[in-house]
Amino acid sequence: MTADETGRAHRREAITELGDALRTLVEHATTTEVPTGDLLRAAAEIREVTARLGDRVRDRSTLSSADDLLGGVRMFNPVTGAGSALAPPLQIEVVAGVATGRCTLGRAFEGPPTFAHGGVSAMLLDQILGHAVVASGNPGMTVRLDTTYRAPVPLLTPLLLTAQVQDVAGRRVTATGTIATEADPGTPLVTATGTFVGLRAEQTHRLFGKLLRADP
Ligand SMILES: CCCCCCCCCCCC(=O)SCCNC(=O)CCNC(=O)[C@H](O)C(C)(C)COP(=O)(O)OP(=O)(O)OC[C@H]1O[C@@H](n2cnc3c(N)ncnc32)[C@H](O)[C@@H]1OP(=O)(O)O
């Protein structure tokens, strides 16, 4: 490993550590019933830490120094990113074209009481469908996502997601996916069909050219 690679690996570990701390903070902040005065003290302390992190920030058109865009490492992706306070995070692996994802949704993801928000389910499915699409060798952006909610998705319960590509027609790729519980993988709670469209070279250049050039 070069010194640069070692430095990056350490930074990713630190980002993951911070992400874990933030996710716990969000979960506790969502569920806490401590006295009101403690909430106000916590808010003041969190603002102090926030100011320290804000000392040096990247702008919108700069990738995180810990990311590797072409290598597929996105530390702050809101679904899979180990550094994201918003991500469950969903852990995805793709074997023989089938993407499998695992996560447990905390109380911060609640929609109907004790169950996941439907938009969160759609977000998880969009991401895992995207991984199956990329693994098929036909990367593209989502242009349509149809979700069918068959049964509520329970919080604080290990979930199992799957996705695979069904069809490739020119630039258009169709993929399907499901969310179930790990305990009952044969009963889909949410199913989705997504249409992804591969970008033309001009579109890639227009939307992401600056980022791709900056990717170390
Ligand atoms: C390891 C790392 C993993 C990494 C894995 C990463 C996973 C990330 C997962 C998250 C993915 C996202 O959220 S992506 C973010 C959300 N999506 C977006 O922001 C995309 C916004 N849309 C666009 O910018 C645009 O639609 C483009 C650039 C994608 C395509 O524009 P375009 O080039 O003008 O497309 P156009 O010619 O109209 O259509 C191309 C073909 O697609 C079809 N098509 C177009 N729209 C639709 C539609 N809604 N439903 C059906 N089909 C459609 C057309 O009929 C046509 O088919 P035919 O005539 O050729 O047959």
What single letter denotes the amino acid at residue 85?
A
Tokens of 75: 């530390």
Residue 108 has pLDDT above 80, yes or no: yes
Residue 1 pLDDT class (50, 70, 90 cuts): confident
Task: Tell me the ipTM for this assembly.
Answer: 0.94
Nearest C-alpha neighbor of 151 from the set 123, 187, 177, 107: 187
pLDDT at 216: 52
Tokens of 43: 């808010």
Tokens of 184: 């009952």
Q: How far apart are the first and last CA of the chain?
A: 16
pLDDT at 169: 98
How does pLDDT run across 115-159, given as a tens digit for each residue?
999 999 999 999 999 999 999 999 999 999 999 999 999 999 999
How does pLDDT run across 8-56, given as a tens digit for each residue?
999 999 999 999 999 999 999 999 999 999 999 999 999 999 999 999 9
Residue 81 has pLDDT above 90, yes or no: yes
User: 110 to each of 5, 106, 140, 152, how far by Cα in Å?
Assistant: 39, 8, 30, 11
pLDDT at 128: 98
How does pLDDT run across 172-211, given as a tens digit for each residue?
999 999 999 999 999 999 999 999 999 999 999 999 988 8
What is the 191 CA–ligand 1 centroid distance (Å)?
20
Give the chain's domains with CATH numbers: 91-205 (3.10.129.10)
Residue 212 pLDDT class (50, 70, 90 cuts): confident
Q: Which residues line ligand 1 (CB under 6 A)?
A: 72, 126-127, 130-131, 134, 141-144, 169-172, 195, 197, 199, 203
- Average pLDDT over every residue of 54-82: 94
Nearest C-alpha neighbor of 125 from the set 90, 152, 97, 151: 90
In sequence order, what E strands does the chain have? 91-95, 98-104, 141-149, 158-169, 172-181, 190-197
Atom of ligand 1 nearest to the CA of 94: 1
Atom of ligand 1 nearest to the CA of 169: 61
Q: Determine which residue's CA is closest to atom 26 belonging to ligand 1.
A: 143
